[in-house]
Amino acid sequence: MAQICPVAYCATMNLGSAEMIDFGLGEYITQYPSKRYPIYTRGNAGEVWPEVAYPLTITLTRIVGEEASARAAINAGVISKKDILEGPSCFGGVFAGYMYLNLSFGRMIAVRTPGTTIEKSDATYYGSEQQAPEYTPHKDDKSLLASLKIIRYGWRMLNTNEIPSLESGRELVRQWQQRLPDILQSTDQEIAVALREIMQPTMDLFTNHLDVTGQAGGAVQLLSSICDERLNDRSLALTLLGNLGDVDSAAPSFALWELGREVAKNPKLTDLFDEGIVDLEERIRNSYHASSFVEEFDAFLEEFGSRGPNEWETACETWGTEPSSVLVLIERMRLADSNKAPNHRAEILAKDREEALSRARSQLKGLGLWLFNKALHASVLFSKARERSKTTIIDLIHVARLISRELAERTAQQRDNGKLIDLWFVMETELDEYIKNPAAFDKRITDRKHVRNELSRRAPPFIFEGNLPDPSTWPLREEANPRDFPTLNVGDTLEGFGGCPGVTEGIARVVTNPSEPGSLGTGDILIAPLTDPSWTPLFVPAEAVVVDVGGQMSHAVIVSRELGMPCVVAVADATQIIKDGSRIRVDGSSGEVTLLDVPKE
Q: For residue range 137-157, list pLDDT tens digits in order.
A: 999 999 999 999 999 999 999
| 478: confidence class by pLDDT, cuts 50, 70, 90 | confident
Determine the pLDDT at residue 6.
34
Determine the pLDDT at residue 308.
85
pLDDT (mean) for 452-466:
93
How does the average pLDDT of the chain come out, rounded?
88
| 368: confidence class by pLDDT, cuts 50, 70, 90 | very high
Burial class (CB in 10 A: 0-12, 13-18, 19+), 315: buried
For 312, residues 6+ apart whose C-beta sits below 8 A from its C-beta are 48, 49, 394, 397
pTM more than 0.85: yes
Q: Inform me whether the pLDDT recorded for 189 exceeds 80.
A: yes
DSSP-derived letter for residue 478 is G
pLDDT (mean) for 78-101:
87
CA 271 to each of CA 233, 257, 299: distance values in angstroms, whole numbers, following the listed order: 50, 18, 22
pLDDT (mean) for 266-288:
94
Q: Could you give the CA distance from residue 510 to residue 579 in angstroms, rounded to a whole number?
A: 7
Q: What percent of the chain has pLDDT over 70?
A: 95
Q: Could you give the CA distance from residue 228 to residue 238 in angstroms, rounded to a whole number?
A: 11
- Domains of the chain listed by start with CATH number: 6-230+367-454 (no CATH), 251-344 (no CATH), 482-597 (3.50.30.10)
Determine the pLDDT at residue 481.
63
Q: Inform me whether the pLDDT recorded for 504 exceeds 80.
A: yes
| 15: confidence class by pLDDT, cuts 50, 70, 90 | very low
For residue 542, the SS3 value is coil
Burial class (CB in 10 A: 0-12, 13-18, 19+), 286: exposed
For residue 505, the SS3 value is strand
Q: Inform me whether the pLDDT recorded for 346 exceeds 80.
A: no
Q: Could you give the CA distance from residue 468 to residue 144 in angstroms, rounded to a whole number?
A: 33
Q: Inform me whether the pLDDT recorded for 4 exceeds 50.
A: no
pLDDT in tens, 221-254: 899 889 999 999 888 888 898 878 788 888 888 8
Determine the pLDDT at residue 121.
80
Q: Inform me whether the pLDDT recorded for 51 exceeds 60.
A: yes
Determine the pLDDT at residue 127.
66
Beta bridge partners of 101: 41, 92
Q: Inform me whether the pLDDT recorded for 9 exceeds 80.
A: no
Question: Is pLDDT larger for residue 437 or for residue 539?
Answer: 437
Q: Could you give the CA distance from residue 152 to residue 425 in angstroms, rounded to a whole number?
A: 45
CB 293 within 8 A of CB 262: yes
Sign of CA dihedral 332, 527, 498, 569: negative
CB 572 within 8 A of CB 459: no
In 399-519, at which residue ranges do the beta strands (DSSP E only) sit? Answer: 463-465, 493-495, 497-500, 503-510
Q: Position 223: which residue type?
A: L
Sign of CA dihedral 205, 206, 210, 211: negative
Beta bridge partners of 545: 526, 567
pLDDT (mean) for 377-396:
94
Question: Is pLDDT larger for residue 197 or for residue 44?
Answer: 197
Q: Could you give the CA distance from residue 286 to residue 291 in angstroms, rounded to a whole number?
A: 9
Determine the pLDDT at residue 16.
54
Q: Inform me whether the pLDDT recorded for 468 exceeds 50.
A: yes
CA 342 to each of CA 245, 333, 345, 346, 586: distance values in angstroms, whole numbers, following the listed order: 11, 11, 5, 6, 20
Determine the pLDDT at residue 557.
87
Q: Inform me whether the pLDDT recorded for 50 exceeds 80.
A: yes
Half-sphere exposure of 198 (CA within 13 A, CB side): 29
Q: Inform me whether the pLDDT recorded for 129 exceeds 70.
A: no
Determine the pLDDT at residue 7.
33
Q: Could you give the CA distance from residue 424 to residue 581 in angstroms, rounded to a whole number?
A: 40
Question: Is pLDDT larger for residue 25 or for residue 545?
Answer: 545
Q: Could you give the CA distance from residue 222 to residue 203 in angstroms, rounded to a whole number?
A: 29
pLDDT in tens, 97-127: 999 999 999 999 999 998 888 887 887 777 6
pLDDT (mean) for 474-503:
83
Determine the pLDDT at residue 128.
55
Q: Inform me whether the pLDDT recorded for 344 exceeds 50.
A: yes
